[in-house]
Structure 1
């Protein structure tokens, strides 16, 4: 199977995912072949929502839409143009996936297969319904993938390299367990936004997407704001108000109530609007329904702090930052987690 053939198959996966809500590509129709997988994935979405209280249909569909937009011929050509994969170097790559947001391990899955390797997948129990259906669709349109995709719930064995994602604590376990194997081990990272006080209403509204999509559970979700001294949060609170229905989620509302009670008992100074708590804090990982903020004196001081903490950061959002407001949950195929080039790793193993 050539790289061009593999690309064409993933373009078909993108077209299949485009059938799920949103701006459906009018040139893509449900065929008898795709209808079976469409119905099966629809059922699995319901199961995923039932199993994981943090998954909602809106968020799962949002994830599928983003992948359908990513898996185009143009995007795949741009992503792959600087790599060379040897057909003689087919290896088995184990992936230990996280489960914090829907299909969070899909990029690693695609990367291994598009580079010509075999994949051994160990899913998180929090997100194990969706990917197997997509894998079945891929095998149906390209039977060559059948002996290249394996899912397991057992202890990993018989693999040549590994990509594992988890917390800082599990990363230490991964490093011990996978020592001696080529590996990418991912740890906790958080994302921040830089505000100057000159943002437009539209930019602040877009920031709400960065904060609240997936209930803020992703490493690309903004969990902290950097604001100038004397920053007025009124416009910020007004702009994010459309996200107040988050309180209809019992899990989110419980976290909001709990964290607010804890902070008030500890006599922390808080700002809040009924569904989001703002707490001044130098840390990066804020709890659910809470957003940390930190004041800065000037641009030079802020950039120095960001540089000192770059190993803790996934995304930096802002007018002059790496990522525009509203774009954190719409990464490109070449936006690698933790800044580690997954394809370069796979090219060299």
Structure 2
């Protein structure tokens, strides 16, 4: 199976997702049981939600929608064009996946297979169903993938390299355990946003998607705001009112009630709109339902500060602040070359060939 075959297979998987999202009655793909697959995917989404309440139907559909766009043939070719991907011996690559978001490990899954390797995916207990289902569809579209995909929740079998995603704490164990293997070890990172006070209402509404998407649980979720010294939050709160219904999710509401109670009992000054808490804090990583903020003096001073802390930052959401900024509303829509922690996964995988 050459690179073009692999690209075609994943592009067809993307088309399956597009047809699913559009609730199409049929598809041009060679899937004789398309209607059955659609029903099964609906069932997987519902079962995932029952097993993990954070995987709401809306969040899972958002993840599927995102991948349906990224898995277009032109996008795949553009992503891979800078690399020299040749036919080489397939290595066994273990991927230890996080479970904080639906399909959060799909990019690693894709990267391993698209570069010609075999993937051993160690699934999180919080996300056990979605990726195996999509893998079955992929194999139906391209049967040669059957011997290249393994899922496990047990001890990892023999492998040649590893990609592991976890917290700062688990990363220390990963670094020790996998020190003798080629590896990518990912730690905690967060997205931050820089505001100037000149943002439009539409930009602030879009920022709400960066904050509340996936309940703020992703590494690309904005958990920290940087605002000018005299910043007034009135316009910010007015724009975010569009997301007020998030408080109707019971787990989110429990976190909001708990964090609010803790801050009030501790006499911490907070700003509150009855579904989100703003707290002035120097840390980047905030609890669910809470966004930290910090005031800055000058743009140049803040640029220097964030540059010094770049190892803690996944992305910066802003408008005319820095060269690599993400526009408001786009943090949860990474492109294929937006690598987690800034580590080029494809380049890493090509070096182990």
- Same fold by TM (over 0.5)? yes
Partner of residue 342 from structure 2, selected from 307, 315, 339: 339
CA distance in 1, matches of 2:193, 2:19: 33
TM-score (norm 2): 0.96
Name 2:14's counterpart in structure 1: 14
Say yes or no: does 1:153 pair with 2:156.
no
3-state secondary structure, aligned to 2:193:
strand
Deviations 1:126-181 (A, max 9, x none): 01110011000111111100100001111012100000000011101111111110
Name 2:59's counterpart in structure 1: 59
Name 2:110's counterpart in structure 1: 110
3-state secondary structure, aligned to 1:87:
coil
Give the aligned length: 348
Name 1:221's counterpart in structure 2: 221
Please state how far the C-alpha of 1:32 moved relative to its aligned partner.
3.0
3-state secondary structure, aligned to 1:271:
strand
Unaligned runs of 5+ in 2: none
Please state how far the C-alpha of 1:27 moved relative to its aligned partner.
9.2
**8 Å Cα contact 1:165-1:186 kept in structure 2:** yes
Name 1:76's counterpart in structure 2: 76
3-state secondary structure, aligned to 1:346:
helix
CA distance in 2, matches of 1:185, 1:28: 39
Please state how far the C-alpha of 1:35 moved relative to its aligned partner.
2.4
- Residues 315-334 of structure 1: matches in 2 within 5 Å? 315-320=315-320, 321=322, 322-334=325-337
- Residues 202-217 of structure 1: matches in 2 within 5 Å? 202-217=202-217
Unaligned runs of 5+ in 1: none
- Residues 1-349 of structure 1: matches in 2 within 5 Å? 1-21=1-21, 28=27, 32-320=32-320, 321=322, 322-349=325-352
Please state how far the C-alpha of 1:88 moved relative to its aligned partner.
2.2
CA distance in 1, matches of 2:309, 2:34: 46
Please state how far the C-alpha of 1:346 moved relative to its aligned partner.
0.5
3-state secondary structure, aligned to 2:225:
strand
CA distance in 1, matches of 2:142, 2:125: 27
Please state how far the C-alpha of 1:298 moved relative to its aligned partner.
0.3
Against the structure 1 CA distance between its residues 253 and 29, is the aligned structure 2 distance closer, same or farther, given a 3 Å change threshold?
Answer: farther
Please state how far the C-alpha of 1:66 moved relative to its aligned partner.
0.3
CA distance in 1, matches of 2:200, 2:23: 30
CA distance in 2, matches of 1:137, 1:223: 35
Please give the root-mean-square deviation of Cα atoms over the aligned residues, in Å: 1.4
CA distance in 1, matches of 2:227, 2:153: 45
CA distance in 1, matches of 2:194, 2:329: 13
**8 Å Cα contact 1:83-1:344 kept in structure 2:** yes
Deviations 1:13-54 (A, max 9, x none): 001111333x67899468533223222111111110000011
CA distance in 2, matches of 1:73, 1:140: 18
CA distance in 2, matches of 1:29, 1:253: 43
CA distance in 2, matches of 1:180, 1:93: 14
**8 Å Cα contact 1:20-1:61 kept in structure 2:** no
